[in-house]
Amino acid sequence: MALDVYTLFICELYVLGFLSIIMIFAWSGAHYDRVLGFTTIAIIATMASVWLGSLRSHGHLFLPVAVGNTLVMLAYGMWLNAFRVFAGLRPGPGWLFGALLWALLCCFPSFFYSMPKRIMVSCLLCISYTVALITLLTRSRACLQITFWPAQQLLCLHLIFHLSRMCFDSGSSGHGAMGNSPFASYVILESTLFVIGLTFTILAMVNERTQIRYKQASLRDPLTGVWNRRGLFAQVGMAEKKSLQKQLPLVALVFDLDHFKNINDRYGHNQGDRVLLDFCRVVEKVLPAECTFSRLGGEEFAAFFVGDVQKAQSLCEDIRLLAMISRPDNIEYTVSIGIAAGRTHSFSTLMMMADKALYEAKADGRNRIEMTSAPQAATLDKLKL
Ligand SMILES: Nc1nc2c(ncn2[C@@H]2O[C@H](COP(=O)(O)OP(=O)(O)OP(=O)(O)O)[C@@H](O)[C@H]2O)c(=O)[nH]1
């Protein structure tokens, strides 16, 4: 298949111009997200380098070879920054390395006039940047469930292309587009496809990360940062399964701060919030990591774990005592706790049982722990059915 290099140049310029416009809108629409900002600069730099590259047909050498390729390396540097920021890192000095090295090497005539040397260095730099992008992508894998594989494959294909170019493109020097290199049309075609692929991959990565952030936020309580009711119920399925498999009881705990209205009335709403935060800190200090703890609403909290009832009682006693002595900003507060456990009961049933126990703790004077007994639990299950 014969591909006309100049037609490809025009196509690439058109595609890059179009992508630049899309990216400027996407960047401003995403509240000037830095990942999209760096990607936009990378595309504009690539577009400028393609335009300069096309000047070779008019006999220019300095602008396409020295400036054009320096811009290509700057574009790689911008993609590196985009991937670094996406991975939660600051943009490092690596983004300038390729551009500076290329500019420096162009000062030496033995390099500037040697096409094979230029191809070798350019391929090595492209490979190094691509390897760095793959490494950074792997670092971000936790927040990329869908886009990770396509992004990785795109970068690997780019890597393979430059490895093969390094092996097979001898770089016969001459005039005309890209020095009449036999690889010229493939280089332009691959770079066009790569830039399109990478741009849409980065847009998809940013979109996926935003969706995950929104999903996470919808499962968290905004004041305390612990799970909310939805977050609690979203995770209970696994615990129910584990309880059945290991034949261990599923334990539900319900906490309610005592006379919390009085605290608000006496110290103000802000100090009330301070107490809620303090209670979460106390609970998170005591409960083991396998325990899921959430704020149901107001001053009511719940937790569950798979384990034995004695352990639950001792943990709740620790929480009750620690809350009593915690005194954030000198405000005393206490907590009443209801516990329910069962191997065959659903979590919703256990929550009803724990709520009943909590009601008893409140009725018996507060600052207490109560458990619902097994016969009542069985009755509750029947009632629910
Ligand atoms: N500071 C603060 N107060 C809240 C928040 N959500 C609910 N509340 C208050 O929590 C109080 C709950 O009061 P009640 O339901 O009467 O319970 P209580 O005063 O703790 O009484 P008992 O539960 O019977 O011990 C109300 O005054 C609510 O306004 C919140 O996010 N921050």
Q: Give residue-wise pLDDT tens across range 87-133.
A: 999 998 999 999 999 999 999 999 999 988 999 999 999 999 999 99
- The enclosing domain of 245 has a CATH number of 3.30.70.270
By residue count, the chain amounts to: 385
Q: Which domain holds residue 292?
A: 227-384
Identify the DSSP state of 340.
Answer: E
**201 and 338, same domain (yes or no):** no
Is residue 329 scored above 90 in pLDDT?
Answer: yes
Is residue 145 scored above 90 in pLDDT?
Answer: no
Residue with tokens 């309580």: 221
**28 and 172, same domain (yes or no):** yes
**245 and 313, same domain (yes or no):** yes
**17 and 155, same domain (yes or no):** yes
ipTM above 0.85, yes or no: yes
Nearest by Cα to 299 from 318, 279, 327, 317: 279
Strand-pair category, 227-228 with 292-297: parallel
Ligand 1 neighbour 174 (Cβ under 6 A): no
Our measurement of the distance from residue 252's CA atom to the centroid of its chain's CA atoms, rounded to an integer in Å, reads 31
Q: What is the pLDDT of residue 382?
A: 45
Is residue 379 scored above 70 in pLDDT?
Answer: no
Is residue 37 scored above 80 in pLDDT?
Answer: yes
Best of 229, 264, 277, 279 for a ligand 1 pocket test (most atoms within 8 Å of beta carbon): 264
| Model pTM above 0.90 | no
Is residue 332 scored above 90 in pLDDT?
Answer: yes
Rounded CA-CA distance 379/382 in Å is: 5
Shortest-distance atom of ligand 1 to CA 257: 20
Rounded CA-CA distance 249/247 in Å is: 7
Shortest-distance atom of ligand 1 to CA 273: 1
Ligand 1 neighbour 275 (Cβ under 6 A): no
Best of 228, 260, 296, 336 for a ligand 1 pocket test (most atoms within 8 Å of beta carbon): 260
3-class secondary-structure state, position 295: strand
CA–centroid distance, 279 to ligand 1, in Å, is 14
Shortest-distance atom of ligand 1 to CA 264: 1
Q: Give residue-wise pLDDT tens across range 200-223.
A: 999 999 999 999 889 989 999 999
**294 and 276, same domain (yes or no):** yes
Q: What is the pLDDT of residue 75?
A: 97
The protein residue with its alpha carbon nearest to ligand 1, atom 18, reads 259
Residues 6+ apart with CB under 8 A from 159: 127, 130, 131, 134
Nearest by Cα to 295 from 309, 284, 286: 284
Is residue 45 scored above 80 in pLDDT?
Answer: yes
Find the mean pLDDT for residues 321-332: 96
- The enclosing domain of 53 has a CATH number of 1.20.1070
